[in-house]
Amino acid sequence: MKILYHGHSSVEIDAMPGSLIIDPFISGNPLSRTKVEDVMAEFVLLTHGHADHTGDAIAIAKQNDATIIAIYELAMHMEKKGAKAHGMNIGGSAAFAFGRVQMTQAFHSAGYLDEEGEMVYAGMPAGLLLTIGDKTIYHAGDTSLFSDMQLFGSKIPIDLAFLPIGDTFTMGPEDAVQAAEWLNAKLVVPIHYNTFPPIQQDAEQFVQKLAEKGIEGRVLLPGEHMTL
């Protein structure tokens, strides 16, 4: 399958059937090279309610008649904004056209800043364990390091993990290396860095640190894709 990185935490997966995009923060991202109008997806998956993740979710959902998959409270809010939404919660899994989603915990916060400037409760922040065909992909969302990542890694072989390395708002590179070890992921792609000054990181150095632990890492630039 083709995996396209849109910058920050946004990843598009062209699964057959059922293409999906995770955390489509595109028009607000100074580093993104994608046009929101060009995004075609049947599903929009959100890890949590912060604006640098929900971004263009409603626009993309509406232009594609796509379903937003998010934690219950956030899903309800997206529905209120006129998008189709499917609510889930931590630990639960559900099947969709592309495969299975299990929502995992993430240690973070999750208010949704409404258009009226009001902070709306957006439920718990989450990570996503996706099973698409014979591949398992883990998108950690925004989170600190937590030792249950060992549990995910021992429960199911993870082919690809997207891990935040930006620090300040999520784990930084050192903790992300530990996360990669615990997840026992075959390939790790860093996300959530360089978009804004407080999350500036050297992603190549992170990949080097992974290599020292015998873990394969790969930097994807915004607009770059890979096949899995």
The residue (of 10 and 136) whose beta carbon lies closer to Mn ion is: 10
Burial group, residue 117, by CB count within 10 angstroms (0-12, 13-18, 19+) = exposed
Among 142, 149, 164, 207, binds Ni ion (CB under 5 A): 142
Q: Which residue has the tokens 């100074």?
A: 30
Among 50, 135, 139, 192, binds Ni ion (CB under 5 A): 50
d(CA 225, CA 181) in angstroms, rounded, equals 24
Minimum distance from residue 58 beta carbon to Ni ion (Å): 18
Minimum distance from residue 142 beta carbon to Mn ion (Å): 4
Q: Which stretch binds Ni ion (CB under 5 A): 21-29, 48-56, 114-122, 184-192?
A: 48-56
Would you say 139 and 11 are in contact if contact means Cβ atoms under 8 Å apart? yes
Closest to 219 (Cα-Cα) out of 34, 209, 206: 206
23 binds Mn ion (CB under 5 A): no
Would you say 89 and 57 are in contact if contact means Cβ atoms under 8 Å apart? no
Q: Which of residues 44-73 bind Mn ion (CB under 5 A)?
A: 50, 52
Minimum distance from residue 53 beta carbon to Mn ion (Å): 6
Would you say 165 and 203 are in contact if contact means Cβ atoms under 8 Å apart? yes
Which spans of this chain sit near Ni ion (rule: CB under 5 A)? Answer: 50, 142
Which spans of this chain sit near Mn ion (rule: CB under 5 A)? Answer: 50, 52, 142
